[in-house]
């Protein structure tokens, strides 16, 4: 994702690359970012110093892991920098902490930066509102074999959208796993199925199953560049916004 973001920034006339972060102690430290992503030299070297990177940038785009994302949010809050975060697997406590950090800066977070996925979330909420509980809801997702969290953050966000559409408490109605004799499906249950394998960038389906018919909303990502493009759109949108916590739904609205 780091390379995808860097390439997308270079393709956009409204942005410049100010810095790029690599792992602590990486042999890439000090190398030109252009060389790292397979292009011409940019005159900007890779660093493993997160605070220096944030201090020297206007916006930080982060697709990393929950621990590093929370560090980035804390430092962005300290220096009043914009943070666009697409990290998934955050706990409820970490999401709350993000909102606290956003009191001192602009933070845009989304479980998925794809414009198409965020449209799907909106559609899922509207369809859930129209179809009511006459239609059972199941959410299917598949990702590459290296993804560590399941269900995906995007799948959970889709489930939350369905719950909003039906005025339900998502925590009370979500069913993340089924195994053995679990009994019949409850009326308001939102079920999840997570598959992992190969190099799948991300497939998501929201299935509304009724008696005699089935409505399916589907999004398939063929590569990860869509997440980079969405994150850059969020970064441009965030400039000049009041301090606070935003999502891609705010960006697209």
Q: Based on the domain organization, do 77 and 133 belong to the same domain?
A: no
For this structure, is 55 an active site residue? no
Q: Based on the domain organization, do 91 and 123 belong to the same domain?
A: no
Q: Based on the domain organization, do 129 and 168 belong to the same domain?
A: yes
Nearest to 120 by CA among 226, 196, 7, 245: 226
Which of 55, 79, 147, 176 is the catalytic position?
147
Q: Based on the domain organization, do 93 and 122 belong to the same domain?
A: no
pTM of the model: 0.80
Q: Based on the domain organization, do 101 and 128 belong to the same domain?
A: no
- 180 contact partners, CB below 8 Å, separation of at least 6: none
How long, in residues, is the chain? 253
Nearest to 113 by CA among 81, 73, 83: 83
Q: Based on the domain organization, do 198 and 230 belong to the same domain?
A: no
Q: What is the pLDDT of residue 3?
A: 87
Q: Based on the domain organization, do 133 and 101 belong to the same domain?
A: no
User: Residue 145 sits in a domain of what CATH number?
Assistant: 3.30.360.10
Mean of all residue pLDDT scores within the chain:
93
Q: Based on the domain organization, do 14 and 49 belong to the same domain?
A: yes
For this structure, is 144 an active site residue? no
Q: Based on the domain organization, do 119 and 100 belong to the same domain?
A: no
Q: How far apart are CA 66 and CA 72, in angstroms?
A: 10
Q: What is the pLDDT of residue 224?
A: 83
Contact (Cβ atoms closer than 8 angstroms) between residue 144 and residue 199? yes
Report residue 249 as tokens: 């739904």
Burial class (CB in 10 A: 0-12, 13-18, 19+), 86: buried
Segment (H or E) for 157? helix 153-165
Expressed as residue numbers, the domain containing 176 is: 115-221
Q: Based on the domain organization, do 135 and 216 belong to the same domain?
A: yes
How many other CB atoms are found less than 10 A from the CB of residue 213? Answer: 8
Give residue 242's region: left, alpha or beta (phi > 0; psi -120 to 50): beta
Which of 143, 144, 145, 219 is the catalytic position?
143
* Residue carrying the six token digits 């790029």: 20
Report residue 96 as tokens: 């709350």
- Side-chain half-sphere exposure of 8, counting CA atoms within 13 A: 19
Q: How far apart are CA 1 and CA 76, in angstroms?
A: 20
Q: Give per-10-residue mean pLDDT for the chain (253 aa).
A: 88 86 92 89 92 95 95 97 93 95 97 91 96 94 93 94 96 93 93 96 96 97 89 94 95 88
Q: Based on the domain organization, do 125 and 109 belong to the same domain?
A: no
CA distances from 141 to 25, 39, 76, 201 (A): 35, 34, 32, 11
Q: What are phi and psi of 43, to 5 degrees?
A: 80, 15
Q: How far apart are CA 191 and CA 64, in angstroms?
A: 27
Contact (Cβ atoms closer than 8 angstroms) between residue 111 and residue 151? no
Counted domains in the chain: 2
User: Residue 16 sits in a domain of what CATH number?
Assistant: 3.40.50.720
Q: How far apart are CA 99 and CA 95, in angstroms?
A: 7
Q: Based on the domain organization, do 12 and 30 belong to the same domain?
A: yes
């Amino acid at each position: 994702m780091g390379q995808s973001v860097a390439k997308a920034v270079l393709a956009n006339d409204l942005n410049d690359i100010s810095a790029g972060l690599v792992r602590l102690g990486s042999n890439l430290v000090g190398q030109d970012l252009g060389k790292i992503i397979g292009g011409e030299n940019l005159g900007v070297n890779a660093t493993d110093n997160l605070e220096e990177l944030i201090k020297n940038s206007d916006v930080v785009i982060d697709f990393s892991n929950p621990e590093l994302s929370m560090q980035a949010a804390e430092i962005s809050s300290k220096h009043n920098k914009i943070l666009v975060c697409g990290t998934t697997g955050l706990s409820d406590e970490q999401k709350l902490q993000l909102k606290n950090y956003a009191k001192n800066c602009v933070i845009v977070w989304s479980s998925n930066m794809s414009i198409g996925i965020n449209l799907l979330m909106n559609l899922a909420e509207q369809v859930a509102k129209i179809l009511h509980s006459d239609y059972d809801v199941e959410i299917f997702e598949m990702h590459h074999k290296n993804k560590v969290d399941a269900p995906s953050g995007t799948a959970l966000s889709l489930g939350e959208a369905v719950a909003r559409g039906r005025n339900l408490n998502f925590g009370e109605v979500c069913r993340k796993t089924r195994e053995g004799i679990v009994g019949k499906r409850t009326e308001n249950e939102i079920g999840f199925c997570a598959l992992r394998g190969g190099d799948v960038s991300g497939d998501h389906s929201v299935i509304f199953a009724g008696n005699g018919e089935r409505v399916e909303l589907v999004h398939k990502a063929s590569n990860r560049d869509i997440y980079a493009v969405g994150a850059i759109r969020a970064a441009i949108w965030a400039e000049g916004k009041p301090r606070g916590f935003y999502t891609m739904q705010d960006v697209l609205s």
